[in-house]
């Protein structure tokens, strides 16, 4: 069986991390059985070393950086981290399941993910400061605060927060960013590739869904996004619901 490593949080067993969502969607779309192991942020590196998952990048000091999502597939003895590398592995190892990266679209899928996250930076400025307090347990909250403050070159995440008087303008930037993506997609289509989900859809769903994790489905923030661009993002999130559940109860 495959083990998926995800972040623990205040709401036990409720997924929230946009990067891990990409892999959760991928596993569910393929119909592969798996179990979920929850870990705190400070425990990512020792846990990844324990299962021999490779680092995914380097820290500023040149030391290896270990991240999740990660999976361990005991049928092959393989540990792998980074959502798109996991998607490539799953396509190769389980070829009889639906493909995450359709033939001939590898470069497109990777470029789409980079493009999407670059465009969605305004959403991060609105949501990132709320993550430690609203979603994380104390050990993870402290780690997240220090790590993300360093990533963005601010003394604290509060310094990254959009002031109340600028929030509407910030949300307008999010709308414009999603509007750029909307313009690239065919009218009426739910999925990036047209007739079936692909990894690109899971990239979008993971990040957009974090807004619901933070503020709830009845929140102004969530309803705002769901109303944009003729309801395209609502259609996407509704369509992704069938790929949202854990195949095995969370450990």
Looking at the structure, tell me whether residues 145 and 25 fall in a common domain.
Answer: no
**Is residue 187 a part of any domain in this protein?**
yes
**pLDDT band at residue 249 under the 50/70/90 scheme:** very low
- Among 7-16, 31-40, 154-163, the range scoring the smallest mean pLDDT is 7-16
Q: Which residues contact 248 (CB under 8 A, 6 or more apart)?
A: 1, 33, 34, 35, 36
pTM: 0.94
Tell me what the mean pLDDT of segment 122-135 comes to: 95
Does some domain include residue 251?
no
Domain boundary among 70, 93, 116: 93
Q: How far is CA 103 from CA 82, 88, 128, 202, in A?
A: 20, 11, 35, 17
Is the same domain home to 233 and 114?
Answer: yes
Look up residue 200 and give its two tokens: 């690109």
Residues 50 and 131 in one domain: no
Spatial separation of the C-alpha atoms in residues 184 and 231, rounded to whole Å = 15
- The four Cα atoms 209, 214, 218, 222 give a dihedral, to 10 degrees, of -50
213 and 118 within one domain: yes
Of the three residues 93, 125, 140, the one that is the final residue of a domain is 93
Give the domain extent around 125: 106-243
How far apart CA 207 and CA 90 sit, in angstroms, is 21
Q: How many domains does the chain have?
A: 2
Average pLDDT over every residue of 106-125: 88
Distance CA 150, CA 192 (A): 34
* 110 and 234 inside one domain: yes
Q: Per-residue pLDDT averaged across 133-155, rounded?
A: 95
Residue 194 scores a pLDDT above 80: yes
Asked if 87 and 144 sit in the same domain, the reply is: no
CA-to-CA separations, 123 to 20, 116, 126, 145, 192, in angstroms, rounded? 18, 11, 5, 17, 20
Mean pLDDT over 147-167 rounds to 93
Residue 94 token pair? 């389980």
Going by pLDDT thresholds of 50, 70 and 90, the confidence category of residue 68 is very high
Name the nearest CA neighbour of 249 among 73, 12, 7, 86.
Answer: 12
**Higher pLDDT residue, 20 or 118?**
20
87 with 112, same domain: the answer is no
- Asked if the peptide bond before residue 169 counts as cis, ω within 30 degrees of 0, the response is no
Q: Are residues 14 and 86 in the same domain?
A: yes
Indicate whether 50 and 121 sit together in one domain: no
The reply to whether 191 and 223 lie within a common domain is yes
């Amino acid at each position: 069986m495959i083990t998926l490593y995800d972040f623990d949080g205040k709401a036990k067993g409720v997924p929230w991390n946009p990067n891990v969502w990409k892999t959760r969607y991928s596993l569910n779309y393929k119909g592969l059985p798996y179990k979920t192991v929850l870990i705190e942020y400070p425990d990512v590196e020792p846990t990844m070393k324990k299962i021999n998952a490779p680092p995914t990048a380097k820290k500023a000091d040149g030391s290896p950086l270990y991240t999740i999502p990660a999976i361990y597939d005991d049928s092959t003895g393989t540990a792998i981290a980074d959502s798109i590398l996991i998607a490539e592995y799953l396509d190769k190892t389980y070829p009889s399941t639906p493909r995450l990266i359709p033939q001939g679209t590898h470069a497109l899928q990777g470029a789409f993910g980079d493009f999407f996250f670059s465009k969605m930076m305004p959403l991060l400025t609105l949501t990132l400061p709320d993550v430690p307090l609203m979603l994380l347990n104390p050990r993870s909250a402290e780690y997240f605060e220090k790590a993300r403050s360093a990533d963005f070159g601010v003394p604290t995440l509060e310094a990254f927060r959009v002031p109340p008087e600028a929030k509407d303008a910030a949300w307008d930037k999010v709308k414009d960013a999603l509007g750029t993506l909307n313009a690239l997609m065919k009218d009426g289509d739910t999925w990036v590739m047209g007739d079936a989900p692909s990894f690109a859809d899971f990239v979008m769903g993971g990040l957009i869904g974090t807004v619901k994790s933070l503020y709830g489905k009845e929140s102004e923030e969530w309803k705002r996004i769901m109303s944009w661009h003729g309801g395209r993002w609502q259609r996407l999130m509704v369509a992704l619901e069938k790929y949202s559940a854990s195949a095995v109860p969370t450990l």
